[in-house]
Amino acid sequence: MAVVFERPKALSDVPFHYCPGCTHGIVHRLVAEVLDELGVVGQTVGVASVGCSVFSYNYFDCDMVQAPHGRAPAVATGLKRSLPDNVIFTYQGDGDLAAIGMAETVHAATRGENITVIFINNAIYGMTGGQMAPTSLPGQVTQTTPYGRDTSVAGHPIRVCELLSTLSGTALAQRVTVDSVKNVNIAKKAIKKGFENQINKRGYSIIEVVSTCPTNWGLSPQEAMKWLQDNMLEYYPLGVYKDVTAEGGNK
């Protein structure tokens, strides 16, 4: 019988610890499929960040380094400068990338550090139980904004792709989501481009995936996907913000 669907080789045979309805699983699979298709698993070193995806070092079947909170771009820089012909990627959440690790992120991008960054934006701190993230929406109720995010007190959410698209070292800044087959396919294409950019030494690529956190949003998986579509995509429009490849059209 022909095999039509199987576990990507770049994913270890380990069950995910992610909650039902969380999109980490989909994104892990897309990254793994891309590593398989490019045939680079053996040369790849992934950098896990602090947050729900910290255990991604158990899931990707390549060499993995677990970085201090926010420091994944710096760790990836050290790896890439030591192993210029290897493929180095980071997998970071919004607290890690856009709060505690913003300096590392901006400077890795502006150096044109030749790495690929997978950025999960689910507008909340998942691992620690649902605190306000730098990307939490105005009015969003979290454990640390129990009356809703008041922007006069807690400031405004950060649009990461827009910010990084202003930097000369950024090769690709694209925001995607995985709420439908169509969008999953777009997301996979973006992730693949992010890795191809690195192989072709084009600089820093970031693929922001607008994601769900049903557990900490207090919603069912289906409601969470609907909340993402109704609320997040308005503040975080999908699209290509920077793309230095020939076919790239900048927003």
Partner 1 sequence: MAEKVLMKGNEALAEAAIQCGCRHYFGYPITPQTEIAAYMSKRMPKIGGTFLQAESEIAAINMVLGASSAGVRAMTSSSSPGVSLKSEGVSYIAGSDLPALIINVQRGGPGLGGIQPSQSDYWQATKALGHGDFQMFVLAPSTIQEMVDFVKLAYEVGEKYRVPSMILSDGMLGQMMEPVEFPEKNDQDIPEKPWATNGHQNKRKKNIINSLYIEPQELEDLINERYQRYELIMENEQRAEEFMTEDADIIVVAFGASSRVSRSAVHMARAQGIKAGLIRPITLWPFPDKTIKKSMDTASKYLVVEMNKGQMVDDVRLVVEGKKPVEFFGRTGGIIPTPDEVLAQIKKLAGKEE
Rounded to an integer, what distance in angstroms lies between the CA atom of residue 118 and that of residue 24?
Answer: 11
Beta strands at 44-48 and 63-66: parallel, antiparallel or unpaired: parallel
Quote the Cα angle for 202-207-210, to 5°.
170
- Total interface residues for partner 1 by CB under 8 A: 37
The answer to the question of residue 61 lying near partner 1 (CB under 8 A) is yes
Instruction: Give 80 or 188: the residue with its C-beta nearer to partner 1.
Output: 80
The answer to the question of residue 117 lying near partner 1 (CB under 8 A) is no
CB of 50 to partner 1, least distance (A): 8
The answer to the question of residue 77 lying near partner 1 (CB under 8 A) is yes
CB of 25 to partner 1, least distance (A): 20
Instruction: Choose, by CB under 8 A, the member of 16, 33, 36, 86 that binds partner 1.
Output: 86
Instruction: Choose, by CB under 8 A, the member of 7, 81, 156, 201 that binds partner 1.
Output: 81
Rounded to an integer, what distance in angstroms lies between the CA atom of residue 198 and that of residue 87?
Answer: 7
CB of 89 to partner 1, least distance (A): 12
- How many CB atoms are located within 10 Å of the residue 245 CB? 12
Q: Who's near 229: CB < 8 A, 6+ residues apart?
A: 179
The answer to the question of residue 54 lying near partner 1 (CB under 8 A) is yes
Kind plus residue range of the DSSP H or E element containing 58:
helix 56-59
Beta strands at 239-243 and 170-177: parallel, antiparallel or unpaired: antiparallel
Instruction: Give 156 or 201: the residue with its C-beta nearer to partner 1.
Output: 201
The answer to the question of residue 128 lying near partner 1 (CB under 8 A) is no
CB of 87 to partner 1, least distance (A): 8
x/- binding map, residues 91-110, to partner 1, per CB under 8 A?
------------xx-xx---
Identify which range of 63-71, 150-158, 211-219, 240-248 contacts partner 1 by CB under 8 A: 63-71
- What is the number of alpha carbons within 13 Å of residue 170 lying toward its C-beta? 24
Q: Who's near 4: CB < 8 A, 6+ residues apart?
A: none
List the interface residues with partner 1, window 28-47 (CB under 8 A).
Answer: 41-45, 47
Residues 187 and 199: beta-carbon distance below 8 Å: no
Instruction: Let me know if 7 is exposed, middle or buried by CB neighbors in 10 A (0-12, 13-18, 19+).
Output: exposed
CB of 119 to partner 1, least distance (A): 18
For binding to partner 1 (CB under 8 A), which residues are involved?
12, 41-45, 47-48, 54, 57-58, 61-68, 71, 73-83, 86-87, 103-104, 106-107
